[in-house]
Amino acid sequence: MPLLITPFAQLDLIRQPEQQDEPLQAFDAADEYLLNHVAEHGVTLQSRVLVLNDSFGALAASLAQHATVISSTDSFLAAHGLEKNLIRNNMAYDSVPMIPASEPLQGPFDWVLIRVPKTLALLEEQLIRLQGQLAPGARVVAAAMVKHLPRSAGELLEQYVGPVTASLAVKKARLLFATPQPGEIQPSPYPTIYKLDEPAIELVNHANVFCREGLDIGTRAFLPHLPQNLGSARVADLGCGNGVLAIASALANPQAHYTLVDESFMAVQSAAQNWKTALGEREAVIRADDGLASQEPDSLDVVLCNPPFHQQQVVGDFLAWRMFQQARAALVVGGAQYVVGNRHLGYHSKLARLFRGVEQVAATPKFVILKARK
C-alpha cells in the first residue's frame, strides 16, 4: 500500500477491518488536500485541533506530533483504526484522545478538520455541538471527494458555523472553508423518536442511527419471524442499531439473556436508552465493538442480524461476510444465526459456506429471512 506523504509525516496506514489483499487504501486525496492546507496556514504544539470523522486516523496521526489533536468519530472501527495506525507508525496508541460522537466536546478549538460523513444528520449534530466551542480566529475546514460532497453539507456549515467558500477541486477532492460567526446557540433536532404498534414500544434514535425516522423495511420484515420459545438462551443482536430486534425478542422471551453490539457509538447510545425504556432494569450487555470480535467462542445460542452492506461510501458484502464469520465463532454447536437480507445479496449461499444447515424462514418480494445452524 502507498504511504500517505504530507508536510507533517510519511505514514503507513491500514484500513479496518483488515482484509487480505485489501483493494482500498486507508486515505484519499481529500485527506492529503486538507493536510496540505493546514501545513500552509500553520499549526503549533499549542494549537488545539479537533478532527471529526477521520476514517482510519490519516488526519489525526499525521498531526499528532505537531499539535494538540483530539479525534471524534461515531465509528468504533475508525477509532480502533486510529489506535492501530498510531502504533504502526511508532506513536503511542493513546497519543490522540478519542471522543465518541455520542459524548460532548470540550473546546476551545483552534482548528476543526471535518471529513464529511455519509450521514448528513451526523454532520449536523456535530456542527450543533461545535457551537460555543471555537477559539477566537478558529478555522473550520471540511473535506470530501467531490462525488461524495452534497450541496447540503455546505448549507449546514453555513447554518451552524458561518459563511462558506469552496476551494478548487484537486485530484477530485474539495475543501469547504467556514468562517465562524457569533450567534445564538441553535438547538438540536436530535434524537428523533418514533413508535411501533407491534411490539408497542417507543424508539429513540440519535443522529447517526440507520433509519432514524422510522423502522427500516428489512427489520419490519424480520420482526414477525424472530425465533420463539428461547427459554434462557444467550442471544446477541449483531449490528443492533437502535436495539429494536433485541428488545422485541426480549419482550417475548423474559428468561433469555441479551448482548447488543454495534460499531456506531450513537447506535449503542440509542439502544441502551431504548432497552431501559422498554425493559427497565433487566440486565443486558450493550457495547460498541467490532461486531462480535471480542465475544468468547461458543458463548451464544442465537444471533440476530440485519447486516449493513456499506462502510461509509464503500458498498460491498465484506462487512456482512465478516459478521457471519464472527457469529459462527461465537455460537455453540447447534446454535443458530437468523439473518434478514435483500434477495439479490445472495446471503443463502454465503451462509452455506460457513454453517452446516441454512433454511429460509420467510420471504417477502424484497427480503429473505434465513436461519443458519452451526
Check whether 293 has a pLDDT greater than 80.
yes
pLDDT score of 315 = 45
- Going by DSSP bridges, is the β-strand pair 314-315/310-311 parallel, antiparallel, or unpaired? antiparallel
Sheet strands (E) in 66-191 = 68-73, 98-100, 109-115, 134-145, 164-166, 173-178
CB atoms within 10 A of CB 173: 21
φ/ψ of residue 81, rounded to 5: -65, -40
Predicted pLDDT of residue 309: 62
Average pLDDT over residues 22-36: 92
Q: Which three cell numbers, joined as nine digits, stand for 324?
A: 457471519
CATH 3.40.50.150 fits 4-178, yes or no: yes
| Mean of pLDDT values over 316-337 | 90
Using CB atoms within 10 Å of the CB of residue 88, give its burial: 0 to 12 exposed, 13 to 18 middle, 19+ buried. middle
Tens digit of each residue's pLDDT (9 = 90 or more) over 86-144 = 999 999 999 999 999 999 999 899 999 999 999 999 999 999 999 999 999 999 999 99
pLDDT tens for residues 173-202?
Answer: 999 999 999 888 999 999 999 999 999 999
CB within 8 Å of 90: residues ≥ 6 apart: none
- Mean pLDDT calculated for residue range 208-222: 90
Domains 4-178 and 192-373 share a fold: yes
Q: How many other CB atoms are found less than 10 A from the CB of residue 66?
A: 18
pTM: 0.94
Answer yes or no: is pLDDT of 311 > 50: no
pLDDT at residue 183 in the model: 84
Q: Which residues contact 231 (CB under 8 A, 6 or more apart)?
A: 253, 255, 256
Distance CA 319, CA 331 (A): 18
Q: 348 in the Ramachandran plot: left (φ > 0), alpha (ψ -120 to 50) or beta? A: alpha
Percent of the chain residues past pLDDT 90, beyond the cut: 86
Q: Show me where the domains of the chain are located.
A: 4-178, 192-373
Average pLDDT over all residues of the chain: 94
The confidence band for 337, taking pLDDT boundaries of 50, 70 and 90, is very high
Order of strands across the sheet that contains 357-363: 285-288, 257-262, 234-238, 300-305, 331-342, 367-373, 357-363
Summarised one tens digit per residue, pLDDT across range 141-155 is: 999 999 999 999 999
Check if the beta carbon of residue 218 is closer than 8 Å to that of residue 367.
Answer: yes
Cα(38)–Cα(9) distance, integer angstroms: 13
pLDDT digits over 2-14, tens only?
A: 899 999 999 999 9
Residue 314 has pLDDT above 80, yes or no: no
Give CA–CA dist 336/374, Å, rounded: 6
CB < 8 Å & 24+ apart, contacts of 149-154: 149/116, 149/174, 149/176, 150/120, 152/120, 153/116, 153/120, 153/123
- In the prediction, which pLDDT does 18 show? 82
Q: Which amino acid appears at position 129 of this protein?
A: R
Looking only at the bridges linking them, the beta strands covering 314-315 and 285-288 are unpaired
Higher-scoring residue by pLDDT: 348, 167 = 167
pLDDT for position 67: 97
Q: How far is CA 355 from the centre of its chain?
A: 28
For 223, the 3-state DSSP assignment is helix
Instruction: Give the residue from 200, 272, 195 showing the smallest Cα distance to 237.
Output: 272
239 dihedral zone (left: phi>0; alpha: psi -120 to 50; beta) = left
Contact status, residue 315 vs residue 281, Cβ threshold 8 Å: no
The answer, yes or no, to whether residue 310 has pLDDT greater than 60, is no
pLDDT band with cut points at 50, 70 and 90 for residue 313: very low
Where does residue 158 rank: exposed (0-12), middle (13-18), buried (19+ CB within 10 A)?
middle
Whether residue 219 is predicted with pLDDT greater than 90 in this model: the reply is yes
How much is the pLDDT for 52? 98
**Which position has the grid cell 450521514?**
119
| Fold topology of 192-373 | Rossmann fold (3.40.50)
